Each structure stands twice: as structure tokens, then as C-alpha cells.
Amino acid sequence: MKNLGRYSLALLLCAAWTAGLAQAEIKLKMMYTAVSGFAAGYVAQEQGFFKKRGIDVEFVQTMSSGNNPPALVSGSVQIAGPTMPTLLQANDAGLDLVVISSGAVYPLEADILIARQGSGIQKPADLKGKTVGVPGLGALLHFMLQRNLKNNGIDPGAVKYVEVSFPQAADALKSGQIDAYPAQAPFTARILQSGAGYEVANWLKDTPDGTLTVVFATTRKWADENKEVVKNIREALKEAIEYSKANRPEMYAAIAKYTKLPQAVVSSLAPPNLEVDTTPKQIKFWVDLAKEQGAIKGDPDPAKIIYRP
């Protein structure tokens, strides 16, 4: 009986310890757009890299980068994946969002300009007078398109822009609703394989290597209150990137799951360039471009936008 009592006590202590671990697990929601730039997050989730650090992540998909800042401020999600123009404009309006990790960075082979069959478009300069779809007005690809036009001597105002989400792009091209679309992986392959359009010259070739696309962001307040969680998220993402280098099929499977595209389509493209650490120089590129295009009025310090737990 004495041994039985000790056994029962051990079971109770084990149960209490397990319950303590469960209570210590942090639950959070992460908002993302269905692009390959968040592949490190997808892999970290699927391979249990978040879980083993005590983080229970629920992914929440959105169709537009612009939905990320209000979701963060309202507390409906704790981590989100805006593009840098979206984040800078949100902060310029009075918010205080910070970057905790990069996503994908240029060069990205699968980010190409696709023109509608029969449009006659052979180079970005041919977009003058045309209607171009962008996944978000005022978001990254809209900015990059205007930058490219200006660099080619074309007034960005000579092009009509309409908001078209990645999943709708192929149909919009086929129907003639738009004449061109700056596609991003993994939807590039889907659009081309559908026959809706063809690739125009590499329009992002003059983009500096390391330029940020999507980022993992949160509010400064949440980051300050959860420094250890931020550190663990970054570690999970770094582990996911290293894992992906040696396990491409698993990475493509994760991208396919979260973008809801067939793995055969996703794996037909080159893998994204994934990074975690961010530098002030990378942020400054977007600050300068946002100021040049009149998207922000302030003069934010790039170093302060990067959160270092």
C-alpha cells in the first residue's frame, strides 16, 4: 500500500507538471496573405518548430496586406504579414508597428509581370494607357510598378490601377478586365499555366538584392510585453529556413497547404529567398520610396522599426 501511495503521488505530480506545461503554452493568431514569402512560417507550423517552443499558432488568411495593421491594433491577431509600404503608411497615420522578422527578399525569380494574351505589351513602358491589376492599392507591387514606370520614363499616372487579388488575376486577364498583372509566387505559375497571359521582361531586375517583400510584424506594445515569445518566433523561423534548404518537397507541401494551390504548381517555381534578420538599410529602401511617391509625410528612423528582443 505504501508503494502504491508513492506511485499515486508520482502520477499526481506528473499530471500537475503536464498541466503546467499546457497552461504555459502561448496561443496566438498570425495573419498572412497566400504568398510564398511566408514559407518559413508555414514550415515552422507544419514541422512543429513553433510548438516545441511553447507557441500554438493559428494562421488567419487575408486577401489584402492593408488588412494587417487594423487586425494588429484591434488585437484580433498578434502577428501579421504586411508589406513594408503598408506598415510604413500605418505608422505614418499614428500606429506603432514593428518588424520582428523578414519574410522573402529579392531577387525572386517568380515575381514577374504578366500581360494579357493579345495585349501587345512587350515591356513595362507599353503599360501606358493600359489597365493594370495590383493585389493591393498602395501595397508593395503597386509601389514597385510605379517605381519601374518612372525609371523607364513613363508617368505612373498614365496607367490605370485596379485592385485584383492573386486568386482572381487569371480570370481578370482572360476576361480583359485588366491588361497586365505583377504576379507573385506561387500564383505566377498558376496564371501562366492557365494560358491567361505571358511573361513580360524581368521588370524587377534593378531591385537591390535583399529588398524586403512581406515581413512578420506586430505592435511595439505587444512585442514589449512578449519579448520571449518574439525571440522564440524568430528562432522557429530560422530553424524552418534551415530545414527548408534540405527538405524542398516538405517546404513546397507547406506552401501548397497555406496558399491552397496544387503542390505541382507550387513546386514548378524556384524557392523563395527567405531571411529572418532585418537591417536598417533594407527598411530605408522602402522609407525613401514611400516618401518619393508621397505615401508618407514623416521621416521614420529605419532602425527603430526593427524590433530586437
- Domain covering 112-199 in this structure, CATH number: 3.40.190.10
pLDDT digits (tens, 9 = 90+) for 104-148: 999 988 788 999 999 999 988 899 999 999 988 888 889 889 998
pLDDT digits (tens, 9 = 90+) for 162-216: 999 888 999 999 999 999 999 888 888 889 889 999 998 778 878 899 999 999 9
- Average pLDDT of the chain is 90
Is the confidence at residue 1, as pLDDT, over 60? Answer: no
pLDDT digits (tens, 9 = 90+) for 150-168: 888 889 999 999 999 888 9
Side chain identity, residue 55: I
- Does this chain's domain 2-105+210-305 share its CATH topology with 112-199? yes
Rounded to an integer, what distance in angstroms lies between the CA atom of residue 69 and that of residue 74?
Answer: 9
Is the confidence at residue 17, as pLDDT, over 80? Answer: no
pTM: predicted TM-score of the whole model, two decimal places:
0.84
- Fold of the domain built from segment(s) 2-105+210-305: D-Maltodextrin-Binding Protein; domain 2 (3.40.190)
Sorted by where each begins, the domain ranges of the chain are: 2-105+210-305, 112-199
- Cα 253 to Cα 186, 248, 249, 262, 272, distances in angstroms: 12, 9, 6, 9, 14
Rounded to an integer, what distance in angstroms lies between the CA atom of residue 283 and that of residue 205?
Answer: 19
